[in-house]
Structure 1
Amino acid sequence: MAATTSHNLELIYGAGGFSQWFVGNLPDGSDFHDFAKQLTDTLRQHGISHLDTAEIYSGSEEELGYQGAAEHFTIDTKLPGGFGDPRRKDEIIAGGKASLEKLKTKQVDVLYFHSPETTVPWEEQLAAVNELYKQGAFKRFGLSNFKTEQVQEIYDIAKKNGYPVPTVYQGNYNAFARASEQDLFPTLRKLGISFYAYSPIAGGFLAKTKQQVVDGHGRFDPSSALGQVYGPLYKKSSLLDALIPWNKIAEDVGILKVELAYRWTAHHSSLSSEHGDGIIFGANKLPHVSQTIGYLRAGPLPAEAVEKINGLWDTIKHEAPRDNFHSKDG
């Protein structure tokens, strides 16, 4: 049985934590394979049985294969789409097979396009997905970081051709990134597509003070690859200013800012267990993994805090980020 929040949203571990991106977080002399083994053990101890990885998570698929994760976890993975060089049908098929080989499994649960590749016709890309499906490479087809109209287009083409239609969408969603509620969510509900929310703490933005973000702490270091993604998303005047009342709300409730963010997403967002929605969390330090699971399984926030958070959204929605692929669009 899949692990859930107390609100019955599925909990999925974002397996970027198994990638080479986070080797620098390990103590000097630590072995990455040993760390990864401890991480899988910790997740299993907390009942987490679903992992989300991707080809572009440097070394993650390989490490999950090395750990034999497919024996104990449901695994989803993603083909790069627009995050990589354009791929034609045969290259997409080869990429899917390569992911299975790295993961040391014959089948994943969800195979996503990580982002839209608009230079290759949808029909050709979906024909490749269909071929992988016929070969048993995956159970469900998913999309991530696609615009609403693109989701509809792909669904219609897949259905017309008898290909697997997308049934899962993975998107950026948190208390400061709610634009998808207006257009994307209604389309997903109409089409019967579940939503898996990534970045429930906005890449750490909602755990920081305004000054820490301005100073480039964590994923907001402009010299880092992640900083070049998260900076354009969240380093905007209204969002930075909103961190001040956000911090005050957490203080008034008597909890940490990071817990405030997780509990809002788990209990007070538009996510719904009725639609098969889930939350992808990505803590990559062992103590943080246990803490995060605890936050996600804690109860709802006080009504007054929720009202204040909703009020904050009204002050920032004009600058709110969409997703990690379209950050350049503003």
Structure 2
Amino acid sequence: MPVDLILGSNNVGPNGKVKTIEDFSAILDLFHSHGNIHLDTAYLYPAGHPGQAETFLGDLQVTKDGKFILDTKVRSFEDGAHAADEICKSVEAQLKRLKVDKVHTLYLHAPDRTVSFEESHKAINELYKQGKFERFGISNYQPDEVLGFVERANKYGWVAPSCYEGLYNICSRRAETELLPIFREHNIAFYAYSPLASGFFSNIKRNEPPPAGGPFDPTTFNGQYNQGWFFKDALFTAVEELGKVGEEYGIPNNAIALRWLRHHSQLTDGDAILVGYSNIGQLKQNLEYLGQGPLPQQIVEVVDKIWDAIKDDAPEAAM
């Protein structure tokens, strides 16, 4: 059975790429027409304009009549954001924007190491007991930190993490050795974000300036972060090698990346791929690629050789 798909919303909102609720509604309809029902959002989305994506989702009443299931992530990436009272305030405001009493999964979006993880976990557990969410998720945490959540859950009877959102793609496979063994042992699903490395596989060329306003624009926080992850000679070479073998079969890099992740990676039943887009045309293309079957064996072998060559330069599996 193919790995599940989850629709992201990090580009949604008046200050995002998908600027109108009408455009977003059409994107949701397209995603649903392919048999998909799982949506993902966050307090942060779109970056720099918190709450806009959640507001769109709430106005569209996406969970009405069970059409979609919805996950969100609490305010993060700020010192003190995961103090108990701050988590509670964040969730209260988020549920109000989403116009729901609870979400399917509530995530801690990224580690807040200025607050004890025990305090944050206890606050999450209290919200769980109040029925604010069904599943607890974490994202971007280090392996030992993941184990800490598991151990506290066992020690105190608190809700345990049941899913993890993390970086995973052809050029970012450290999760296979650093995180996946933990997930398999403790029944934690892995949801892979950035399957196309924010466009690095197709839209970025060596020694050419990245497009202004794009995911690698160095004047933005996200652009600086993405460049730090991917702008390395070894990774540029990997993309070029991928393009060469893809040309032999008439398969573009993005299709290789998505088909490899769905059919040849270490994702399995219960895991998922977070699907991104900047517009409905891009989503349509990505869904088409994801609907295609396994890759030719020669391409799979090249992907593995690429990883062996770049693993020391690859982005970290967690923050």
What is the percent sequence identity of the aligned residues?
Answer: 36
Aligned residue number for residue 266 of structure 2: 270
**1:1-330 superposed matches below 5 A:** 7-23=1-17, 32-57=20-45, 58=50, 59-71=52-64, 72-83=67-78, 85-211=80-206, 214-217=208-211, 218-273=214-269, 276-323=270-317, 326=319
| Cα offset, 1:248, TM superposition | 0.6
State the secondary structure of the residue aligned to 2:104.
strand
Taking the aligned partners of 1:209 and 1:250, their CA distance within structure 2 comes to: 17
Aligned residue number for residue 4 of structure 1: none
1:243–1:88 Cα change, 3 Å: same
Task: State which drifts further: 142-151 or 202-211.
Answer: 202-211
Contact 1:195 1:277 in 2 (8 A): yes
RMSD: 1.6
| Cα offset, 1:269, TM superposition | 0.5
Aligned residue number for residue 3 of structure 1: none
The one-letter code of the counterpart of 1:307 is E
Normalising by structure 2, we get a TM-score of 0.93
| Cα offset, 1:231, TM superposition | 0.7
| Per-residue Cα deviation, 1:225-267 (whole angstroms, up to 9, x for no partner) | 3212211110011111222111112112211111111001011
1:314–1:56 Cα change, 3 Å: same
Following TM superposition, the consecutive aligned residue runs of length 4 or more in structure 1 with deviations greater than 4 angstroms are: none
| Cα offset, 1:196, TM superposition | 0.4
The one-letter code of the counterpart of 2:251 is I
Question: Where do 5+ consecutive residues of structure 2 fail to align?
Answer: none
The one-letter code of the counterpart of 1:222 is P
The one-letter code of the counterpart of 1:16 is N
Taking the aligned partners of 1:151 and 1:39, their CA distance within structure 2 comes to: 33
Q: Of Structure 1 and Structure 2, which has the larger fraction of its residues in helix?
A: 1
Taking the aligned partners of 2:309 and 2:251, their CA distance within structure 1 comes to: 23
Aligned residues: 310
1:166–1:174 Cα change, 3 Å: same
Taking the aligned partners of 2:15 and 2:261, their CA distance within structure 1 comes to: 26
Taking the aligned partners of 1:257 and 1:52, their CA distance within structure 2 comes to: 25
The one-letter code of the counterpart of 2:189 is S
Normalising by structure 1, we get a TM-score of 0.90
Taking the aligned partners of 1:92 and 1:67, their CA distance within structure 2 comes to: 25
| Cα offset, 1:98, TM superposition | 1.4
The one-letter code of the counterpart of 2:271 is D
1:298–1:193 Cα change, 3 Å: same
The one-letter code of the counterpart of 1:61 is E
Taking the aligned partners of 2:79 and 2:85, their CA distance within structure 1 comes to: 15
| Cα offset, 1:94, TM superposition | 1.7
Taking the aligned partners of 2:122 and 2:302, their CA distance within structure 1 comes to: 47
1:19–1:249 Cα change, 3 Å: farther
Contact 2:139 2:166 in 1 (8 A): yes
Taking the aligned partners of 2:151 and 2:144, their CA distance within structure 1 comes to: 11
Contact 1:209 1:244 in 2 (8 A): no
Taking the aligned partners of 1:299 and 1:123, their CA distance within structure 2 comes to: 44
| Cα offset, 1:277, TM superposition | 0.4
Task: State which drifts further: 71-80 or 41-50.
Answer: 41-50
Contact 1:214 1:235 in 2 (8 A): no
The one-letter code of the counterpart of 1:148 is P
Question: Where do 5+ consecutive residues of structure 1 fail to align?
Answer: 1-6, 27-31
| Cα offset, 1:83, TM superposition | 4.6
Taking the aligned partners of 2:78 and 2:163, their CA distance within structure 1 comes to: 19
